[in-house]
Amino acid sequence: MPELPEVETVMRGLRLPLEGHILTRVEQRRDKLRFPLPERFAERLQGRRVQGLRRRAKFILIDLDDEMTWMIHLGMSGRIFIEEQPARIANKHDHVIVETDGGKVIFYEDHRRFGLMDLFPTDAGDIHPMLKDLGPEPLGNSFHVDALNRALVGRRTPIKSALLDQHVVAGLGNIYVCEALWRAKISPKRMAKSIPGKRAERLVPHIRAVLNDAIVAGGSSLRDYVQASGELGYFQHQFAAYGREGEECKSCGKTIKRIVQSGRSTFYCSSCQR
């Protein structure tokens, strides 16, 4: 599933072709993705001008001139492509197609249909069921050592699992938690309640740094992910832990190990990470 850096990269790629432009034609080619699309979805989008784009956790939020927000979640295999008119002929996996007054065509393609879209009043974002309980943005001002300390106090779960909890911090996924824990030299098996204090002081800046590094690299292209431009991200070439089972640790030369936590693969160095 695309994680925060991938979603941020796609959102930034959509800004130029969408921001300030009118959605002149919207084609909805099926009634549902993971969930049913909103009633009269294409009709309500068509003719609207895009006021701005932003991201919350792994959701792309597109604010419209009628004070509504178009939400997109890419799910497991959702991809967005931007093309010039006339564009390619749509294939069976292109479920939503949008044309703009700037001559761009945006295709939402989703082979597995695990993505979702919604329309809701912009001022109701704080109470939207999928947004209201999210934790702080890891790249925002509300994510800091004190906030992480408060979220982890007394938690009897491994720190890896705690960081994947979207109530603790929004948008983190398996790849970047593995990488941040490796950089901070913290074992993914360590209990979350032991992190507040000095370990949190190490961890917070490394979470921010690994996300920013990945955004600069255009994300990590694993399986289905590509940028909105159609280009591949390349942060996977910088992985120090994720997917490197059996390879040498870039810090100490020992072997990277893999364990399974909560059904997810965790990659770490048992020598460096304590």
Lowest mean pLDDT among 3-12, 66-75, 127-136, 214-223: 214-223
Residue 221, pLDDT > 50, answer: no
Q: Among the options 48, 55, 56, 58, which is catalytic? A: 58
Please state which CATH class domain 145-269 belongs to: mainly alpha
Q: Among the options 25, 113, 189, 264, which is catalytic? A: 264
Do the two domains 4-127 and 145-269 of this chain adopt the same fold?
no
Token pair for 121: 């009043």
- Is the peptide bond prior to 129 cis by the omega test (within 30 degrees of 0)? no
Domain assignments of the chain as residue spans, ordered by start: 4-127, 145-269
Residue 121, pLDDT > 70, answer: yes
What pLDDT digit, counting tens, does each position of 163-182 carry? Answer: 999 999 999 999 999 999 99
**How many Cβ atoms are within 10 Å of 191's Cβ, its own excluded?**
15
264 is catalytic: yes
Lowest mean pLDDT among 36-50, 63-77, 194-208, 227-241: 227-241
58 is catalytic: yes
Q: Which CATH number is associated with domain 4-127?
A: 3.20.190.10
